[in-house]
Amino acid sequence: MLVDNGVNGDSRVQKTARSAAAAGWDVVLLGRSPSGLPESWSLGDAQVRLLPVPANLAKHRHQYRRRWLRAPLAYPPGGLAAHRTQWVRAWRADLAVRSAQRGSSPRLRAEETAAGLLERWVAFRVAQQGRSPRTLHGPWDRACTAFWQRLLGDRAWRRLAPGLWDWELAFGPTVDALKPDLIHANDFRMLGVAARAKTRAAARGRPVKVVWDAHEFLPGVRPVRHNARWLPAHVAHEREYAPYADAVMTVSESLADLLRTTHGLAEQPDVVLNAPAADHGEPVGAESTPDLRARCGVRPETPLLVYSGAAAEQRGLATMVEALPQLDGVHVAFVVNKPDSPYLQGLRARAAELGVVDRVHVLPYVAHWQVVPFLASADVGVIPIHHWPNHEIALITKFFEYSHARLPLVVSDVRTMAETVRSTGQGEVFRAEDVADYVRAVRAVLADRQRHRAAYDRPGLLESWTWEAQAKVLDDVYTRLLPGAARPSGGAGPTEPAGPTVGAGPFAQVG
């Protein structure tokens, strides 16, 4: 099983690995080491290995060159600027000590003057080095992208995004050494790694099956800022290697339809929802689940809205902050991956301008098995995401987590989630980025919380939104590709074993 992250924080891949291993498959998960050093641990019966992935090809060649026209006096790329800065600081420190020991003298004053001038000169050259770095979204870059697309077709990613090779060089040798029967590739970067490993194995006479787990619709993601090459390059990479997948799974029926149409797939992809486990109890020996309200310092009667997930502009968190002056006494909790990110700092600053910063609470993630009970003490779960193609087509992880916490929902009018909430009656829908309509929806839910919570009493609703149900689909896919394969772990079927480890990884070695 392959994944392009450090495992921790990726609950879908964690659950996939644990469940496959518990069902008897021999699972090895390969992820990217955040420390740059090899790491390993166990995730249930699965092995996790994090590999260093040097990003040497991710930087384009112009980033290694001096910009003679725009900044001719800047230091060249490398460590010279830092070296010169430290050298001048060391000289000034030495002069301060000598002056303290011997008192001032004409020679020392002359040296201090020279050191001051040199310090300003070095600072100027360092500032020149940071001036307006060239980006990849200008007319030349668009023309370059079009040229390579016309010349190489889907192979153009090799010129436009050579950093994709960094993943191959880091993961490929380890995958080959494992000699897998099946490779489970999570998302678009790992699809290429899996396909190339399959090709090499076939050349040696050893068949390998590839499962591509598409977490999102790549053509619909928000483009990388200031890089016109990124999206077309990665879309081309995905198109080149999609035919190598023996089975495709994804997160929603809508995305399954898009993938089949876009890549001309012979079969409809299997749907494995990002649902939480039905059993939210604490694993034996694990730390107890923290209390959300206690961490926020709010009393049980205080209205508390919660957002749980990645924090970014397109996630709509600003709408929640802008609405607080109109929601007297209401508090907001952001449970996010990077609590100290510049984006969250900006939200705090805006809350301070509005006079509501004391009602905004920013908290870090908890372990994936703690999420549902942690969220349950809130009054409302909020999903205020903006309109982007990928946001329209899926029931995202937090939707199911809020549901299992039996929280009334307030969601923006992105298509799939809005349709579901309207049909179940579990919350209210508002127009994305419309603060006034968001305030209306929050007030409506807070005024009748019990009615919205009662929607979860519908027979079979929450049961169909559990990871246990999804693990059966996962096991069926593996079994279909490897009929009669021996299961070294001796498992009899898909389960979700309890355990405190938070992680996700990338490759399932079966048989």
Question: With helix as H, strand as E and coil as C, how does 143-176 read?
Answer: HHHHHHHHHHHHHHHHHHCCCHHHHHHHHHHHHH
Judge whether residue 495 has pLDDT over 50: no
pLDDT confidence of residue 303:
98
Judge whether residue 489 has pLDDT over 60: no
Q: Which residue has the higher pLDDT, 369 or 2?
A: 2
Q: What percent of the chain has pLDDT over 90?
A: 66
Q: Which residue has the higher pLDDT, 57 or 111?
A: 111
Which residues, at least 6 apart from 110, have a Cβ–Cβ distance to it below 8 Å? none
Task: Give the global pTM.
Answer: 0.77
Q: In the 8-state DSSP scheme, what is residue 267?
A: S
**Secondary structure of residue 42 in the 3-state scheme:** strand
pLDDT confidence of residue 137:
65
Tokens found for residue 272: 């494995």
Confidence of residue 202 (pLDDT cuts 50, 70, 90): very high
Mean pLDDT confidence for 289-311: 95
Q: Which residue has the higher pLDDT, 60 or 150?
A: 150
With b for 16 or more beta-carbon neighbours within 10 A and e for fewer, the 445-466 pattern comes to bbeeeeebeebbeeeeebeebb
* Residue 43 phi, psi dihedral angles, 5° rounding: -125, 90
Specify which residues 39 forms β-bridges with. 50
Q: Which residue has the higher pLDDT, 226 or 280?
A: 226
Type of residue numbered 257:
D
Mean pLDDT confidence for 234-241: 96
∠ Cα 191 196 201 (to 5°): 125
pLDDT confidence of residue 221:
84
Q: Distance between CA 81 and CA 367 in Å, rounded?
A: 42
Q: In the 8-state DSSP scheme, what is residue 511?
A: -
Confidence of residue 499 (pLDDT cuts 50, 70, 90): very low
Q: Do the Cβ atoms of 64 and 183 come closer than 8 Å?
A: no
∠ Cα 428 425 314 (to 5°): 35
Q: 100-109, 248-257, 379-388, 460-469 — which is least confidently predicted?
A: 100-109
Mean pLDDT confidence for 376-380: 97
Tokens found for residue 380: 């409302």
Q: Distance between CA 134 and CA 108 in Å, rounded?
A: 43
Task: Give the pairing type, strands 331-336 and 360-364.
Answer: parallel
Q: 38-47, 457-466, 483-492 — which is least confidently predicted?
A: 483-492
Confidence of residue 498 (pLDDT cuts 50, 70, 90): very low
Q: 79-83, 121-125, 280-284, 416-420 — which is least confidently predicted?
A: 280-284
Q: Which residue has the higher pLDDT, 335 or 80?
A: 335
pLDDT confidence of residue 82:
84
Tell me the Ramachandran region of residue 187: left when phi exceeds 0, alpha when psi lies from -120 to 50, beta otherwise: left
Q: What percent of the chain has pLDDT over 70?
A: 89
Q: Do the Cβ atoms of 45 and 22 come closer than 8 Å?
A: yes
pLDDT digits (tens, 9 = 90+) for 127-147: 877 654 455 667 877 888 899
Nearest CA-CA partner of 302 in 330, 338, 340, 266: 330
Mean pLDDT confidence for 476-484: 94
Mean pLDDT confidence for 461-480: 94
Average pLDDT, the chain: 88
Judge whether residue 219 has pLDDT over 50: yes
Confidence of residue 503 (pLDDT cuts 50, 70, 90): very low
Q: 4-13, 208-217, 289-298 — which is least confidently predicted?
A: 4-13
Q: Do the Cβ atoms of 366 and 335 come closer than 8 Å?
A: yes
Nearest CA-CA partner of 245 in 208, 291, 284: 208
pLDDT digits (tens, 9 = 90+) for 20-79: 999 999 999 999 999 999 999 999 999 999 999 998 776 665 555 556 566 777 777 767
Q: 232-236, 274-278, 317-321, 477-481 — which is least confidently predicted?
A: 274-278
